[in-house]
Amino acid sequence: MLKKNGIHARPLAKIGASALSLLLVMSMCPATGFANDVRAERGNPAGQTPTIENPAPEFPDVNYADWYGDAVTFVASKGLITGYTDGPKTGLFGVGDTLTRAQLATILWRNACPDEYAAYDATTAVDTTGISGSADGMYYTAAANWAVREGIITGFAQPDGTFDFAADKPVSFEQMMTIIARTYASINDPAAEGDLSAFVDGAEASEWSYRALAWAHGRGLVSGYNEPDGKYLRPGEDVKRERAAMVLMRAFQLGIME
């Protein structure tokens, strides 16, 4: 059943085949890991210092002394968020910019399919999603193919019954958490049965995202914004790139992503 914002309600388990399976090709690279996205608060979980395994570029728009600095270094060292490579923002990380749906798919695909990513040639990439909103020859084409094939991103329902991948649209927090839960969560995880009563605005989460958000909160990846009257989840807020970096770093630190 499709709910608002174009996300299907699905169980918190990796989908082996989607409703569009007849339109899709067989997977060359199954989803791996078991991660989770969290609304990144300031600081590292449990005071952990991230392990940097590879050299990371330094971005001129990043304040490395700020709350997100270590996270940017961490994800850049893993090649998950590489910064802008063309256009007026070439060489920048994009602090303050909203993460798009294509960018999120690309990040998750890079982690799940590193060999495919290393050999990827966008100029020859062919879109096989079978839905609109994705295209041949894009930096995200292989990632979109993977995400739709695995049932991780199903797209926005259109009036004519088709679906739109909406590659360039911003990803909201509840969309991001739902996508990540589809990628890494286990339906047998007790955290999936949690609730959002700890948040003042927990009831504002869409029905289709509730279990994903509760799971993320139960795993310690979502703790919300501290305000004078309590903690806020802000499920409909668009996700900034530096916040996504913090979410990813935490998932690795907690052993959810590998």
CB 116 within 8 A of CB 107: no
Q: Which two tokens mark 185?
A: 């969560």
The pTM score is: 0.81
Question: What pLDDT does 46 receive?
Answer: 45
Unique residue bearing structure tokens 């392990």 = 51
Question: What pLDDT does 202 receive?
Answer: 95
Interatomic CA distance for residues 113 and 129, integer angstroms: 17
Question: What pLDDT does 41 receive?
Answer: 40
Question: What pLDDT does 187 receive?
Answer: 61
Q: What is the three-class DSSP state of 238?
A: strand
| Residue 235 to residues 28, 45, 173, 193, 204, Cα–Cα distance (Å) | 33, 21, 5, 18, 7
CB 139 within 8 A of CB 156: no
Per the DSSP assignment, residues forming a β-bridge with 2 are 8
Question: What pLDDT does 221 receive?
Answer: 84
Question: What pLDDT does 79 receive?
Answer: 93
Question: What pLDDT does 223 receive?
Answer: 82
Mean pLDDT by groups of 10 residues along the chain of 258 residues: 38 32 33 32 48 82 96 95 93 97 97 96 97 97 97 93 96 93 79 84 94 90 90 96 93 85
Across 49-168, the runs of DSSP E, i.e. the strands, are: 156-157, 163-164
Burial of 214 (0-12, 13-18, 19+ CB in 10 A): buried
| Sequence-ordered alpha helix ranges (H) in 123-240 | 141-149, 173-184, 210-218
